[in-house]
């Protein structure tokens, strides 16, 4: 009796593709709307320090560390003062201007379909 190995792979999580940031690249701090436009730099274990950066501050990527399901973290250095620390990947963006997602427009009802189902006229 022979066994056939399955070549199926575990499903990858579905979500928006994330940009991979190279060491030496200049990127910008991205604060979430509920963070009052400030992002706290952390140490390599994720413990927040005293340094905070404003949304849109330009930083240089010094290193990165994949963390599996916890998400990739990047060590960054703010210019010109040289403040450095670690930020999560979703706390960085590649554009200087914050991109605001526009809500999808609601579809308009097709004209001339008569009365809606279940309504009495």
The count of other CB atoms within 10 Å of the CB of residue 18 is: 11
Residue 89 near residue 20 (C-beta atoms within 8 A): no
* Domains of the chain, first to last: 26-93 (2.30.30.40)
Q: What percent of the chain has pLDDT over 70?
A: 74
- Alpha-carbon distance of 90 to 56, in angstroms, equals 13
Which residues does 73 contact at the CB level (< 8 Å), separation at least 6? Answer: 44, 46, 64, 65, 67, 86, 87, 88, 89
pLDDT tens figures, 25-65: 999 999 877 767 889 999 888 888 888 999 899 999 999 99
Q: Label residue 9 by pLDDT band (50, 70, 90).
A: low
pLDDT tens per residue, range 54-78: 989 999 999 999 888 888 999 999 9
- pLDDT at residue 121 above 70? no
Question: Measured between alpha carbons, how far is 98 from 67 in angstroms, rounded to an integer?
Answer: 26
How far is Cα 90 from Cα 100, in angstroms, rounded to an integer?
A: 14
């Amino acid at each position: 009796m022979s066994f056939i190995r399955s070549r199926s792979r575990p499903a990858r999580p579905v979500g928006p593709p994330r940009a991979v940031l190279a060491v030496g690249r200049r990127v910008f701090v991205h604060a979430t709307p509920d963070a009052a436009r400030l992002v706290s730099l952390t140490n390599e274990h994720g413990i927040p320090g005293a340094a905070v950066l404003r949304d849109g501050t330009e930083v240089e990527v010094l290193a990165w560390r994949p963390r599996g399901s916890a998400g990739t973290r990047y060590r960054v250095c703010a210019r010109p003062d040289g403040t450095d620390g670690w930020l999560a990947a979703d706390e960085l963006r590649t554009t200087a201007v914050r991109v605001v997602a526009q809500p999808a427009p609601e579809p308009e009802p097709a004209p001339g379909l008569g009365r809606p189902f279940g309504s009495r006229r």
